[in-house]
């Protein structure tokens, strides 16, 4: 069985730690490889190589950096089918979904190609008599990225194109559940001409995470994952004087008003609730239905659920398995909790008949009505294909319900009333909002991030905020004596 290693200084480095973890094909339910976990010596080696490489990379011209990033973009466009197959094999999502996440990540690569404009400073002439003041933006040095299993290509690409464009060296610690995408992208950077050591991959578990959080030569940490881990990342990195952007969990609500287009609502609920098997932080997990439309809406959603084909992502199915057996069982346990708490399980995904191997980690789309607000089904992030319905009597009740959540990642409203939509966007306490749009993931030149316990730190991913995060500003005050005052003579030679 193959052992997936690290990628340090432009080459594969097999782990010598003796510790490793299994990597599964979720559609088959079998272990297909193992990934080596970094020890302290390997962490030190990765950081040392990144630090050395960052010095030369910082001093590369913007034109040279831009050309390499554009080459990476071209190679990614030509070969992304290979990467999608890797993602489907290790994560389980269907090929179309894998290609979709690569395309969204590629948007950030394309955005980073425009970095000369975004790295410009400012200039004030004659701030005082014959004194000029100007600012310049410089990279931080070595930055760490800790990414989750659900988007092994897109989430790292939220960060590393911007970090590299800004002149930093990167160490990516991917999820140990699907580590191969990171190695594939590292090789692509080398093929694009990125100098060795500027992009590195460090495989591992908590020891690798803590190694990056505590290392004095790592200047910043970017993280996406659950809220408890995001809080730990933020507190530990900040304690060590690092910049941090730590994006946490979510419980995204979709408020449906009585005047909404219920055909659009049902289509959106299916796509946002069950795409990628619900394993995404922007999934809609709660529909807040303002009566009297709940029953009619449920009928339309149920009809669509019956048409969803669950199975192996390589077989043109609509939804694949969950990433591991443990995660599948944890998500399925919420269905029992719903029954115990008195909710109505309208569609039970545990009885799904998948188009795939019987040993796969299958759980079909699940729809639960009348979920009590005290139930863990409502309060906790499930991260699976479980869609809950809560019925309310008014817009105000629905809005207050959303605002009372500890999370503030994404939300949506479906309505034909522009005034209601405008009030919603103004008053809802959430960072990303969709109006008749189910998954409000911003485009690359905007920034991604939530409010409350969905974001720790004061910086969001990509967009202009991303460039501000990965650079630090110097302000220079200068005065050059005029030659007529007896200073140096800058005129042409006279003889």
Instruction: List residues with catalytic annotation.
Output: 281
Task: Provide the edge-to-edge strand list for the sheet that holds 471-479.
Answer: 123-128, 131-139, 471-479
> Each residue of 236-259: b (16+ CB within 10 Å) or e?
bbbeeebbbbbbbbbbbbbbbbbe
Other C-beta atoms lying within 10 Å of the C-beta of residue 16: 12
Does residue 477 contact residue 128 with C-beta atoms inside 8 Å? no
Q: How far apart are the first and last CA of the chain?
A: 78
What's 133's DSSP letter? E
Q: Which residues contact 468 (CB under 8 A, 6 or more apart)?
A: 459
Cα dihedral value 52, 56, 58, 59, nearest 10: 160
- Helices then strands, counting H and E runs in the chain, come out as 15, 23
Burial (CB < 10 A; 0-12, 13-18, 19+), residue 492, is exposed
Does residue 467 contact residue 136 with C-beta atoms inside 8 Å? no
Say how far apart CA 145 and CA 4 lie, in whole Å: 19
Other C-beta atoms lying within 10 Å of the C-beta of residue 380: 13
Which residues share a beta bridge with 33?
A: 23
- For every residue of 315-383, DSSP letters joined together read TT-SB---S-HHHHHHHHHHHHHHHHTT-EEEE-GGG---BS-TTS-----EEEES--TTSHHHHS---
- Given CA atoms 215, 220, 223, 226 in this order, what sign does their dihedral have? positive
- For every residue of 269-302, DSSP letters joined together read HHHHHHGGGG-STT-EEEEEEETTSHHHHHHHHH
Could you tell me which of 282, 288, 231, 283 has the C-alpha nearest to residue 258?
Answer: 288
Could you tell me which of 150, 156, 174, 80 has the C-alpha nearest to residue 320?
Answer: 150
Burial (CB < 10 A; 0-12, 13-18, 19+), residue 207, is middle
Could you tell me which of 223, 273, 287, 271 has the C-alpha nearest to residue 454?
Answer: 223
Say how far apart CA 22 and CA 20 lie, in whole Å: 7
């Amino acid at each position: 069985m193959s052992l997936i290693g690290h990628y340090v200084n432009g080459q594969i480095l097999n782990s010598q730690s003796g510790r490793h973890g299994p990597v599964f094909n979720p559609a088959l339910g079998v272990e297909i490889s193992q990934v080596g976990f970094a020890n302290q010596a390997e962490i030190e080696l990765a950081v040392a190589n990144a630090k050395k490489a960052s010095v030369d990379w910082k001093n590369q011209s913007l034109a040279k950096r831009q050309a390499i990033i554009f080459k990476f973009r071209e190679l990614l466009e030509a070969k992304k089918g290979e990467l999608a197959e890797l993602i489907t094999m290790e994560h389980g999502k269907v090929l179309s979904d894998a290609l979709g996440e690569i395309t969204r990540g590629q948007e950030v690569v394309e955005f980073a190609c425009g970095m000369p404009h975004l790295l410009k400073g400012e200039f004030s002439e004659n701030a005082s008599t014959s004194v000029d003041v100007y600012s310049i933006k410089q990279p931080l040095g070595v930055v760490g990225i800790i990414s989750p299993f659900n988007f092994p290509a897109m989430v790292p690409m939220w960060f590393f194109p911007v970090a590299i464009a800004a002149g930093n060296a990167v160490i990516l610690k991917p999820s140990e559940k699907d580590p191969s995408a990171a190695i594939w992208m590292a090789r692509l950077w080398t093929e694009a001409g990125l100098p060795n050591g500027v992009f590195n991959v460090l495989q591992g578990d908590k020891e690798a995470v803590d190694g990056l959080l505590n290392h004095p030569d790592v200047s910043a940490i970017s993280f996406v994952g659950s809220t408890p881990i995001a809080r730990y990342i933020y507190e530990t990195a900040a304690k060590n004087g690092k910049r941090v952007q730590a994006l946490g969990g979510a419980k995204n609500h979709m408020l449906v008003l009585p005047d909404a287009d219920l055909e659009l609502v049902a289509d959106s609920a299916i796509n946002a609730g069950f795409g990628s098997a619900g394993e995404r932080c922007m999934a809609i997990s709660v529909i807040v239905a303002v009566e009297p439309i709940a029953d009619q809406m449920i009928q339309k959603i149920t009809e669509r659920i019956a048409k969803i084909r669950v199975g192996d992502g390589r077989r043109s199915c609509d939804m694949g398995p969950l990433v591991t057996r443990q995660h599948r069982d944890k998500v399925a346990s919420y269905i029992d909790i719903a029954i115990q708490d008195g909710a109505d399980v309208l569609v039970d995904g545990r009885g799904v008949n998948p188009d795939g191997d019987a040993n796969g980690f299958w759980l079909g789309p699940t729809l639960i009505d009348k979920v009590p607000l005290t139930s863990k089904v409502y309060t906790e992030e499930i991260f699976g294909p479980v869609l809950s319905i809560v019925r309310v009597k008014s817009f105000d009740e629905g809005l207050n319900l959303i605002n009372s959540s500890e999370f503030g990642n994404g939300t949506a409203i479906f309505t034909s009333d522009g005034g209601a939509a405008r009030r919603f966007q103004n008053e809802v306490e959430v960072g990303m909002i969709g109006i008749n749009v189910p998954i409000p993931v911003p485009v690359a030149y905007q920034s991604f991030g939530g409010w409350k316990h969905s974001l720790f730190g004061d910086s969001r991913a990509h967009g202009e905020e991303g460039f501000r995060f990965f650079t630090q500003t110097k302000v220079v005050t200068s005065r050059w004596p005029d030659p007529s005052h007896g200073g140096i003579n800058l005129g042409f030679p006279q003889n």
